[in-house]
Structure 1
Amino acid sequence: MKMGLIKKGKKEVRVYFLILALTALGLGLSDGVFSNYFKEAYNVNAFQRGLIEFPRELPGIISIIVISLLTFLGDIRIAIIAQLLSAIGLLFLGFLTPPFAVMCIFLFINSMGMHLFFPLSDGIGMSLIKDEEVGKKMGRYKGVSTAFSMLASVAVFIGFRTGFFSLTAPVKIIFLIAAVIFAVVFVLLIYMNSIVKVPIKEERKLKFIFRKEYKYYYILAIMTGVQKQIMAVYGPWVLIDLLSKKADTIAILGIIGSFIGIFFIPALGRWLDRYGIRKMLYVDAISFIVVYIAYGFLASGFSTGILSKVGIPVILTFVLIILDRMSMQMSMIKTIYLRSIAVDQSEITSTLSFGMSMDHIVSIICAYIGGIIWTSFGPQYIFFFAAAASLVNLAVAKVAVIKEDAGVKTEVKIKGFVNK
């Protein structure tokens, strides 16, 4: 009987693997080059770059409300709507170079689609596999996404190096290809909805949990918003604005980062088992502090002309970008920390949603403030601010009450990372 159930679900699982792979590919061909697009097509400055994060990050807050209102449709149907929005936004950006304000509207539509899909993807995947296969299959899901993200970076590198892709041409082929990919995913989800006999519906009430026991997790969530936004937005902006690097260079760094991540993520799980959550929180905090201080000095050197824009300083900047990618992957530690202190396991999802909302709110604020700091005082002060803020992570690692027990194991870590 059990084998029959597994066989019955194989088609749905195969389709879903394909959906995840194509979604990662589409994201790599769109989201992965947006910073270069803003610079090359609109010649935005650092302040404008910060403002753009409002339409990009606002969907991260709104999506939680939208999903809770559309729960009656089921997760797959909501995912269908999400992929359609992603395709529509990119379709207009591919065929047009609209005025800046209009571009932000299409960017919002695309981002809304992706932010709707992210929290749904894990729930659909978990519903398609059997309990005894959860760790193994969720690990495969993440592996598929990572592999196709790396494939997208390869395509970006080749496309821009050969001149096939251009962000200033009247028709932006790279965005149209990404739109077609999301349209294919849209069709695959419609097909999946027809073959999944029992609708996948997870209770997603708009419920935020606020307990004093979770105060340190909330602090860590806020700090994630600060760190993520500063490095994700202004880290590449150092390469794009100060060093005039194009999308092919960013793509190469993405390829290297994804390749290292294939080995780094499993290693991180082993280190968590061996050293425990508290020590890894220390490592997480220190890694951010070191990377941001170093990045600040490099940004200062480039902007003042003290450092050469070729050779070793540039290579060091590349290394720091890759190291920061590794640091951001360590955010899974925070999810595992929450699980270790949860008063009730049923509160984890709601608490993560609350943390995600705070993350996105802080991200929007930091992007705006970061643009002001860059243009008024200098790029280095953004990173020095991030390094100083990361001292909060260090303090939390020291004072937080952590329940180190046998319940926090590798399988949980896989779930925690995927749910990020």
Structure 2
Amino acid sequence: MPDYKKERMYSYLIVLTICSAAGLQCWRTLFDNFSVNIVGLDGNHIGVLQSVREIPGFLALLVTYVILIIKEHRLSALSIIILGTGLFLTGLLPSFSGLIFTTIVMSFGFHYYETTNQSLTLQYFDKLTSPLVFSEQRKSAAAANIAVGILIFVIAPFLSYTVIYILFGCLIGAGGIWAITKNPVNKNIIPQKKQLVLKKRYWLFYFLTFMAGARRQIFMAFAVFLLVKKFEFSVQDITLLFLVNNVINFFINPLIGKFIVKYGERKLLSIEYFFLVLIFISYAFVDSKLIVGVLYVLDHIFFNFATGIKTYFQKIADPRDIASSAAVGFTINHIAAVVLPVIGGLLWMVDYKIPFLAGAFFSLISLCLVQFIRIEKQ
């Protein structure tokens, strides 16, 4: 077994990543059908909810101050408990205002875990190991998503949305409670700066992070909604699609880490953005249910390539800046995320193609800028 897997923080983060992924997968799998068929929402409502969901991500910079009060690894566990609580409450409040509240709660848990997970991974694992650790985390997340997808597919015909949300909320919360009792800390880790860090030499990291947030929101807010609204995918159809995604990603994710180690971030991200331009344009014009399903699977695969932005930053950063910069990066990532879904929802009402063509444009800009990545061979 590789040495990095013997690090206590490795198994700690793997367990919490599984909980985080399972919670988000449950929410995403049920959300569009729950909001359309039970709550009766339309595109503009979805845009508002997706923007609300990203507010906690926009406030991720506050993690820098929260870890002055609570240790970073404990904040990770507490975030998972909050995520579980948000899920638990979702089915109990089937209204637009109820969804706004529960979405914020769930999202605080998810985004604060993602921020601390990125920070702890980059702190505890070196530049050659961190791509492999991120890939293992994504592989574990894919396995969790497969399990959640199968479970929802089996129980959806028999249980109400409320019961399913309560069931998964309890399971996720239990994982967080387990973790909060553990102490995986290595006291030899480089101490982190306890204030916000913004440096000119990190400009490309900031820009790529911002653009990734913009493109991700179009994918998150409108891709599944397109499948449900235009192509009439059922909850079982969406669950099967997620299942296919995660089976593929389970096998592909370890290869992404190895690709980064061997070829570097510039090549990986160039491949991602080139194909995303084509995928987003295709979203706007296809009329085939099968083809749009394939596009969604490909989109989901390339989403994993964003690991390259994190590992690129590790290679150019002062090790003491990791925790603060992870928080700042998440906030930058979510600047567009808070605004775009609302604007995109309004544009959707004009023509559903517009948000996807914007995604193609954002991906083209990222493809050009990623060519500025310059890293000495490790």
TM-score range, shorter chain: 0.7 to 0.9
2:163 is aligned with 1:173:
yes
Asked whether the 8 Å contact 1:84–1:113 carries over to 2, the reply is yes
Deviation at 1:107, TM superposition (A): 1.7
Asked whether the 8 Å contact 1:125–1:138 carries over to 2, the reply is yes
Give the match for residue 289 of structure 2.
Answer: 314
The equivalent position to 1:119 in structure 2, one of 107, 115, 118, is: 115
In the TM superposition, 1:128-147 aligns within 5 A as 140-147=136-143
Larger RCO: 1 or 2 (CA < 8 Å, sep 6+) = 2
Give the match for residue 98 of structure 2.
Answer: 102
The equivalent position to 1:185 in structure 2, one of 167, 175, 178, is: 175
Deviation at 1:294, TM superposition (A): 0.8
2:378 is aligned with 1:397:
no
Hey, what's the Cα distance between the residues in 2 that align with 1:15 and 1:268? 22
Which stretches in structure 2 are left out of the alignment for 5+ residues?
none
| TM-score normalized with structure 2 length | 0.86
Hey, what's the Cα distance between the residues in 1 that align with 2:296 and 2:252? 15
In the TM superposition, 1:247-262 aligns within 5 A as 247-262=235-250
In the TM superposition, 1:34-113 aligns within 5 A as 34-66=31-63, 68-97=65-94, 99-113=95-109
Deviates most, 220-229 or 15-24: 15-24
Deviation at 1:197, TM superposition (A): 11
The equivalent position to 1:205 in structure 2, one of 194, 209, 233, is: 194
**What percentage of aligned pairs have identical amino acids?**
20
Hey, what's the Cα distance between the residues in 2 that align with 1:348 and 1:318? 37
Give the match for residue 285 of structure 1.
Answer: 273
Give the match for residue 159 of structure 1.
Answer: 155
* Larger Rg computed on CA atoms: 1
Q: The residue matched to 2:91 in structure 1 has which SS?
A: helix
Deviation string 1:324-347 (CA, Å, 9 cap, x unpaired) is: 01111111222333344x263444
2:355 is aligned with 1:382:
yes
Deviation at 1:374, TM superposition (A): 0.6
Asked whether the 8 Å contact 1:21–1:144 carries over to 2, the reply is yes
Hey, what's the Cα distance between the residues in 1 that align with 2:266 and 2:13? 36
Hey, what's the Cα distance between the residues in 2 that align with 1:270 and 1:40? 43
Give the match for residue 332 of structure 2.
Answer: 358
Deviation string 1:18-67 (CA, Å, 9 cap, x unpaired) is: 44434433332224322222222222111111111232100112233145
